[in-house]
Every structure is written in C-alpha cells, then in structure tokens.
Amino acid sequence: MRPHFGILLGYFFCAAHHVVSSPLMKRDADFNDVKTRLKSSNQKVDASKPNKYFHESAFHYHYDGRFADKAPSDGMRQVHLRALIQTYLATMNDIGIETFLMHGTLLGWWWNRKIMPWDSDIDVMVSEKSIHHMAAYYNMTVHHHRIPESGVSRDYLLEVNPHYTNSDWDADNKIDARWIDTDSGLFIDITTLRRNTTAEELGIHGAMSVKDKHHYNYDDIFPLRITDFEGSPAKIPYAYSEILVEEYGQNALTDSYFESHRFDSSIKQWVPKPLPGHAGGARFRESFAQGD
C-alpha cells in the first residue's frame, strides 16, 4: 500500500472550497492526478447531476473512464472481476475494514463461493464505522497487488465519496466508495449499511438502510459469518439464506439451470449449457443435494 495521489490535490480542493462553489467541485478525483495509461479521460459527465461524485465511462457504466477506453472481452472481464474481489477482500482484511458480500455476489457464494460466470459486477457493503475509517485514513490510497492467476501486477485505487457523511437517501451518491482497477477501469461499488434512526424512532427495532433503498434488520446481518470467496477471506450476513430468498426467491437457491449455464454439482461449477433447442427455452430442474 502506498498513499499517494492527492496530497497536493487535497490541498487544492480545500483551498478552492473557500473561494468558489463550482457545481462540479464534488466530482471524482481529477484525471490528471490519477491517470495511468490514457492520454485523456473517457468519463461521462452528466451536467444535469452536478452533485454526483462518482462517474462512469462513456463506453460502459461498469468502467471508470479515467483508466480505460474500452471494455475487455467477457472472458477477460471475469479474470479482472476475480482479481478485483480477491484484492479488495485481502486489502480490507489487512486494514481492518468490516465488509461483507451481498446481492448477486452472495448468491455466487451460496452456490460455490465464486463469482457467477454471467455476473458483470460485484456487490459488497461496509459498516458505518468502517466507512468513517476508510474516509479518514485510506481515501485515495493505491494498493499494489500481484495477481496469482495472471502473474501480472496491478494498482488498485480506493476512493471515498465525500457525500458518505450524508446518510439520507441520495440518488446521485448511493455509492460511498469505490475499489478501482487502475488498469482495466473495472471497479467495485461499496455501499454502507447504516442504522436508520428515522425508522427506529417509528419503533422498528434494529432498522438499517443503505442509500440505494435496501432495508435490513440488524439481526439479519450481524454477527457476520466468516468464510471465503474466490479463495480470499470473506464475510457474509448472518441470515444469508433468508436474505437471498427475499431478494431472488426460493428458486434461486435450488434451480441449477440459469442464464444458459448448468450447475455441475460434481465439480461445483457453473458450466455453459445452452438450453436444448427443442425445449423452446423452458427451464427445468435437476435435484441434487447441495452440499457445502
């Protein structure tokens, strides 16, 4: 880990803060201060959202245009995604950030502790205490990792949204932080699970919310369970199966045919399997004991 970009930049932003109130001031860190291999930025700027901090590339919403100018092939994307989550989990574990898998990533964990082959992003949450810790000590830090699978070395940038201090619903700033691959531009959106004091005052004990409008109960999430994902130490919510059923339905935990893939229980892998042509796209189930 080496803290770098942004010592000067931070000063510039602080200084500018008192002088002007340009509507674009809250944008993600300036291209010239973070650029790696590109000559110009491919970020898309939406002038109608002056308060939106994080931006995405003009070519695809899962990429940061400060670092990439095109999306890789599907196969390469999966390689980058795996490296992204492995490096994220390892780093968060090292620096003491409480983070856990959610949504599609948690579903992937449920089947075989891996990213599902058709998934194009990764979903994680952090606790409130951890987002404060990240903002105070790790904003704009760059983390160097050697990726075992490819043998290449990569720098990952941890950038924290200054709007993280606002816990209200904010459509433009649902993402509190990003873990960004500064080579491929692929990133992980990090959201914060917070106590919802409004709901608590209404008598909902343990009410918790995420800025993207997901709601949970404290006891569904904590204590987190310790496990592993893509070979790295990971945490998952306590009531993971209830959370998955609520979000995806009971079938998501039992249907072994999905998105043109079949779950092969002998090798514990999703393998490509186009549905039989004559079946007209019908889905069918295979019953097997899902051992874990």
Q: Which residues bind ligand NAG (CB under 6 A)?
A: 6, 9-10, 13, 29, 135, 139-140, 160, 162, 164, 168-169, 196, 198-199, 202, 209, 211, 213
Closer residue to ligand NAG in complex, CB, 13/238 = 13
Closer residue to ligand NAG in complex, CB, 23/276 = 23
Closest distance between ligand NAG and the C-beta of residue 203, in Å?
10
Alpha-carbon distance 213 to 231, whole Å? 31
**Which residue carries 């097997």 as its tokens?**
288
Closest distance between ligand NAG and the C-beta of residue 115, in Å?
28
Taking CB atoms within 8 Å and a gap of at least 24, the contacts of 172-176 are 172/49, 172/51, 172/52, 172/53, 173/51, 173/52, 173/53, 173/54, 173/211, 174/210, 174/211, 174/212, 175/53, 175/54, 176/126, 176/131, 176/211
Closest distance between ligand NAG and the C-beta of residue 199, in Å?
4
**Which residue carries 């944008």 as its tokens?**
27
> How many other β-carbons are positioned within 10 Å of the β-carbon of residue 287?
7
State the distance between the two ends of the chain, measured CA to CA, in whole angstroms: 35
Closest distance between ligand NAG and the C-beta of residue 10, in Å?
5
Closer residue to ligand NAG in complex, CB, 119/189 = 189
Closer residue to ligand NAG in complex, CB, 209/256 = 209
Closest distance between ligand NAG and the C-beta of residue 242, in Å?
20
| Cβ-contact 152, 46 below 8 angstroms | no
Closer residue to ligand NAG in complex, CB, 78/141 = 141
The tokens for 79 are 């390689």
